[in-house]
Amino acid sequence: MHIAEADSFLRAHARFGARPLDQAGRDGYVADMARIGAALGVPDPPRTEAELGARIARYAGELEATAQARDAARFLLLNPPLPVIARPPYGVLAAAAVSLLPGHARRLLRLPRLPVTEAAVVRPAGTRW
């Protein structure tokens, strides 16, 4: 869970952040997250972006999507329990989150890759928030 969170935030900042981090900044972020993780009991958290990527890759083969996981994703993306007025901004946020998933995770959950929509709508909207 810890490494997924660190990876997700790093991916989100790279995609939507106002100022990209250089390698030292990305490694510094992962090192900061490692200190937090260690304090919370995470055994041997990764301390660099390269270590984080290697750790994530080690788990990729273990991941599987159950019918319940696909149902939950479909519910959250297509039928969120929100008032109608909140659905458009939520839709952009949800599409941004899906765009950050690695390809293997998208395929497991049967989520489409929509490069034109992501480039034309999701990324510009994501950088405004």
Q: Residue 19: which domain range?
A: 2-60
* Residues 7 and 33 occupy one common structural domain: yes
Cβ neighbours of residue 129 under 8 Å, at least 6 residues apart? 16, 93
| pLDDT single digits (tens) 16-52 | 887 889 999 999 999 999 999 999 999 999 999 999 9
Compute the distance between CA of residue 115 and CA of residue 51 in angstroms, rounded to an integer.
28
Domain boundary among 60, 88, 109: 60
Domain boundary among 38, 60, 82: 60
Q: Please, which pLDDT band fits residue 15 given cuts at 50, 70 and 90?
A: confident
Please tell me the predicted confidence (pLDDT) of residue 94.
86
Does the pLDDT at position 1 exceed 80?
no
* Residues 48 and 85 occupy one common structural domain: no
For 114, the token pair is 């929509």
Compute the distance between CA of residue 98 and CA of residue 116 in angstroms, rounded to an integer.
14
* Residues 56 and 93 occupy one common structural domain: no
Count of the separate structural domains present in the chain: 2
* Residues 71 and 112 occupy one common structural domain: yes
Please tell me the predicted confidence (pLDDT) of residue 86.
94
* Residues 24 and 42 occupy one common structural domain: yes
* Residues 11 and 56 occupy one common structural domain: yes
* Residues 46 and 16 occupy one common structural domain: yes
pTM of this structure:
0.76
* Residues 104 and 88 occupy one common structural domain: yes
Does the pLDDT at position 68 exceed 80?
yes
Domain boundary among 18, 36, 60: 60
Other residues' Cβ atoms within 10 Å of the Cβ of residue 10: 21
| pLDDT single digits (tens) 84-129 | 999 988 888 888 888 888 888 888 899 877 665 666 566 666 555 4
* Residues 56 and 18 occupy one common structural domain: yes
* Residues 41 and 71 occupy one common structural domain: no
Cβ neighbours of residue 118 under 8 Å, at least 6 residues apart? 95, 99
